[in-house]
Structure 1
Amino acid sequence: MDSSNNTANYIEKLEWSLILGNSIQEEQENSSNSTETLVSNIINGLYKECLTCNIAKQIFGTELSAEDDCIKKFVENLDVNAYISKRTKEYISSDLPELESQQQQHHQLFRQLNLLCIAIACLNAFVQISWTGPNLDLESHDLLPTIIREKCNTDELNKKALEILSVDGEETYHLTPQALYLLISRIILVENEQIFTDLKTSLWWAQRVLFIQQRILDNVAGSLHDLMFQYFKTLESKLPSTNLDIYTRYYIELGLLYHYYGQDSLGVDCFLKAQKSSGFQWKITGALGKRTKFQTFDVSQLLIVANSADSKESQDENTTKKNLPDNLILNDDTLLEKIEFSKQDGQKDDKDNTDLDPHNQKNLKNKWYLTYLVY
């Protein structure tokens, strides 16, 4: 019983690490190594590694024979939904007969998380290709078996994916690249949501998939709107009461969803709750400084200073080196790389929010950045 609880707690910890983007420390051996690697690769943005690993190949049937009945049906009618759903259910339901019932449950937990990770990797890969960059050196159809790649070209599969992603009569943007990534993540997380019986965050990721799907539609889709808010309502009861960072993330994303649909008053309420749970403070102020290389005197510079409460999770995050891109140097003939503020005494005379110092700007919690909500 203790072993089962330990496994469940460990899986839950990995789930919330994925939501917050927190680095993980390896705690389990053997069967969990591949799962930890998946989680770590997602957090570090290594989506190609996730989607080309043995777990992904097993889920997608990448190495299946052309004689397989499932492959033949796919080639005949290009039914991506049926193929991915069948592969997903087979992966989840495949038991190891030599294991006892408790070990089977342990095995099932890791399989559910593995499947969640692959769906997340597909979603994040689509967001990276469509919004944030850089381009991903992996075509979406490369996830599928060789015979499918030979029989169906990339454009054909992408067109089919866009047709399936159209909803409520609303067409998808016809130039959307690599839509198969988004479709696969939707099939796993939304169409087959019932298989994630032991996970707490699958609906959160399903909501993110639906929001990205909404973003590539011409107009608002009512069915997506209703389903996303239904997911958020269900999620609220699953949030751990001891982690304020998770509540902050929850209310920010819910507020942005309200904002997207024009319900700004409800969105503001969510943002205020997020501000309260995070200890976030900010103000618009001014400070003397130079903006160009040839300025000989300081002038007032408009700036925003902000601060957020420290937490154990954010402290751990700040001490962990992440796979982040380097800053691009401006290298301008006139402008400085950043504003050079003067350090004159007596500038800080604001009695309100005295801990917000323009000359000592603290790092905010970088986990607040929501890749999925880029405008």
Structure 2
Amino acid sequence: MCTLEPDVVAVRGYELRLIRCTLIPSQPLDLRQDGESLDGLINDLLNSVERGSYVEALTSEPSSSVFRFGDHDSLPLDAADQFYSELVHRAESFITDAVSNAAEQRRRAMIVMCLAVAAFLGFTQANFTGPLKGTELPKCPLCLDGSDEWENWARNQLMSAGSDLLGKFSNLQYIVFAKMLLMRMKDLRVEMGSLSWWIARVLLLQQRVLDERSSSLSDLLHVFMSEALQQFGTSELVRSYWEDSLHSSESLDIVSMLQLEAGVMEYRYGRVDSCRMHFELAEMAAGLQLSVTGVLGFRSVHQEEPKAQMVLVTNTNTSNVDDLTGTGIQTCDSNNGEGSWNLHQFETSEASDILRIPKLLENDDSKTKSQGVENGAHFTLSLTATQQAVILAYCLLIEKSSRHDELQRRMGYGTLH
């Protein structure tokens, strides 16, 4: 039974919908609400974000209400610094004007958070995840005319952390704008449990686009990631925050993703022990048991004799994941005839004769035999997106502890099964 006030439950439900956008493909909810009410405006924004229509969210009616585009006082378009500072000031006023009504203020803050997250996800989509739906994103998040120098301003804002950019990135104003809005909300002490997590995500991506590690970003990241872990670091904490709003096993997915991001942060700054701890917690929450073993097999098309392959074995914990079973190791039997043993039938890279999926020999005394994998069997685990992310993160640690030579670069350090 939910023990929270209805207004608090509603706003936390909106927070959860934003978090879900980064966990699984989200479908917009057709909630029948008054479009003029704050709840109606929030729902419209969330629907746009869930569809991946980030520009639509940033140029929507709620955006106009926050940034007061209809005011007689026009926005300063001469300088990017003045322009974005004025936008953040108007967003702050939008929140603080309702200081006498806590329920309304929470909803107003939620609208600003939706706009900040839309800008952040727009930058992420344009530069990392893709694909862009339709045409390229406009340079300005709010589709206002600005000087071409505004991108240079945004680039300088990111590089003020102490490093040049790693390469060429587009739509830099989006991540800078998102960071400015979220940090101002933090200054206002807005009561939203997921705020620190979103700030940590923005800062982590800023570090990702920089060529070198930033000590100032490291300090900020550890502060905000620590706050996020204190809020959502365990399944019990997640359930206590969202209570009945969670889907089945969703609390574990949220914990796994947060621990994974904390581990990536530590990995980025070279703290391998802390990184391993967070990855192990993410692995546990995802219902996985990962281990590395050695199996004889073939790695290239022209290989004549089997050689030892490093294999990452994926076992699932049925107490957390009911529909996943098996070890996931693929093997083949060399005694079944040449027809089933032709390495050329397996997919290779266009620029290499290396097999995308190495073919592994099964030995009667091998670990795979004891785990019940039959000759010729091909097990393919149906892994969730979160579980796949955990496995890829585990590979970072394997790579960190593996040798680095010409053979390793050519053959790869392992394989996922």
Q: TM-score, normalised by structure 2?
A: 0.65
In 2: Cα distance, 1:313 partner to 1:19 partner: 20
Q: Which residue of 2 aligns with 1:366?
A: 385
- Structure 1 residue 274 displacement after superposition: 1.5
Q: Which residue of 2 aligns with 1:213?
A: 206
Q: Which residue of 1 aligns with 2:56?
A: 49
- Structure 1 residue 86 displacement after superposition: 1.1
In 2: Cα distance, 1:169 partner to 1:120 partner: 25
In 2: Cα distance, 1:125 partner to 1:176 partner: 13
Larger mean CA deviation between 186-195 and 129-138 belongs to 129-138
- Structure 1 residue 286 displacement after superposition: 6.3
Larger mean CA deviation between 125-134 and 158-167 belongs to 125-134
Q: 1:134 to 1:278 in 2, by over 3 A?
A: closer
Q: Which residue of 2 aligns with 1:157?
A: 150
Q: 1:140 to 1:312 in 2, by over 3 A?
A: farther
In 1: Cα distance, 2:24 partner to 2:120 partner: 15
Q: TM-score, normalised by structure 1?
A: 0.72
In 2: Cα distance, 1:40 partner to 1:75 partner: 33
Please show how residues 1-375 of structure 1 align to structure 2 within 5 Å. Answer: 2-18=5-21, 20-21=23-24, 23=26, 26=29, 29-30=32-33, 31=37, 32-61=39-68, 63-64=69-70, 68=73, 71-72=75-76, 74-75=77-78, 78-95=81-98, 104-135=101-132, 137-141=136-140, 143-145=142-144, 149=145, 152-153=146-147, 155-172=148-165, 175-195=168-188, 197-239=190-232, 241=236, 242=239, 243-282=251-290, 304=312, 306-309=314-317, 350=368, 359-367=378-386
Report if aligned partners of 2:94, 2:108 keep a CA contact under 8 Å in 1. Answer: yes
State the one-letter code of the partner of 1:128: Q
- Structure 1 residue 15 displacement after superposition: 4.7
Map Cα deviations across residues 112-166 of structure 1 (whole Å, 9 max, x no partner).
2222222112112112222233355321326154xxx1xx32x311011112222
Specify the SS of the correspondent of 1:306.
strand
In 2: Cα distance, 1:110 partner to 1:313 partner: 35
Specify the SS of the correspondent of 2:126.
helix
State the one-letter code of the partner of 2:114: C
Q: 1:330 to 1:115 in 2, by over 3 A?
A: farther
In 1: Cα distance, 2:275 partner to 2:349 partner: 40
State the one-letter code of the partner of 2:54: Y
- Structure 1 residue 179 displacement after superposition: 0.8
State the one-letter code of the partner of 2:46: V
State the one-letter code of the partner of 1:254: A
In 2: Cα distance, 1:267 partner to 1:94 partner: 42
- Structure 1 residue 82 displacement after superposition: 1.4
Larger mean CA deviation between 302-311 and 33-42 belongs to 302-311
- Structure 1 residue 4 displacement after superposition: 2.8
Map Cα deviations across residues 97-118 of structure 1 (whole Å, 9 max, x no partner).
xxxx7xx433332322222222
In 1: Cα distance, 2:130 partner to 2:67 partner: 25
- Structure 1 residue 90 displacement after superposition: 2.7
- Structure 1 residue 215 displacement after superposition: 2.2
Larger mean CA deviation between 226-235 and 183-192 belongs to 183-192
Q: 1:82 to 1:340 in 2, by over 3 A?
A: closer
Specify the SS of the correspondent of 2:383.
coil
Report if aligned partners of 1:286, 1:301 keep a CA contact under 8 Å in 2. Answer: yes
State the one-letter code of the partner of 2:7: S
- Structure 1 residue 17 displacement after superposition: 2.6
In 2: Cα distance, 1:264 partner to 1:232 partner: 17
Report if aligned partners of 1:14, 1:39 keep a CA contact under 8 Å in 2. Answer: yes
Structure 2 unaligned runs (5+)? 240-250, 324-346, 397-417
Q: 1:193 to 1:369 in 2, by over 3 A?
A: farther
Map Cα deviations across residues 316-372 of structure 1 (whole Å, 9 max, x no partner).
xxxxxxxxxxxxx9998x99x987999x9x9997266558996232221214566xx
Specify the SS of the correspondent of 1:220.
coil
Taking only aligned residues, the RMSD between alpha carbons, in angstroms, comes to 4.4
Report if aligned partners of 2:287, 2:321 keep a CA contact under 8 Å in 1. Answer: no
Structure 1 unaligned runs (5+)? 316-328
Specify the SS of the correspondent of 1:361.
coil
- Structure 1 residue 220 displacement after superposition: 1.7
Specify the SS of the correspondent of 1:75.
coil
Report if aligned partners of 2:203, 2:221 keep a CA contact under 8 Å in 1. Answer: yes
State the one-letter code of the partner of 2:142: L
Q: Which residue of 1 aligns with 2:344?
A: none
- Structure 1 residue 178 displacement after superposition: 1.5
- Structure 1 residue 309 displacement after superposition: 4.6
In 2: Cα distance, 1:22 partner to 1:307 partner: 25
- Structure 1 residue 291 displacement after superposition: 9.8
- Structure 1 residue 77 displacement after superposition: 6.8
Report if aligned partners of 2:11, 2:107 keep a CA contact under 8 Å in 1. Answer: no
In 2: Cα distance, 1:88 partner to 1:36 partner: 19
State the one-letter code of the partner of 1:47: Y
Report if aligned partners of 2:165, 2:209 keep a CA contact under 8 Å in 1. Answer: yes
State the one-letter code of the partner of 1:360: F
- Structure 1 residue 252 displacement after superposition: 0.9
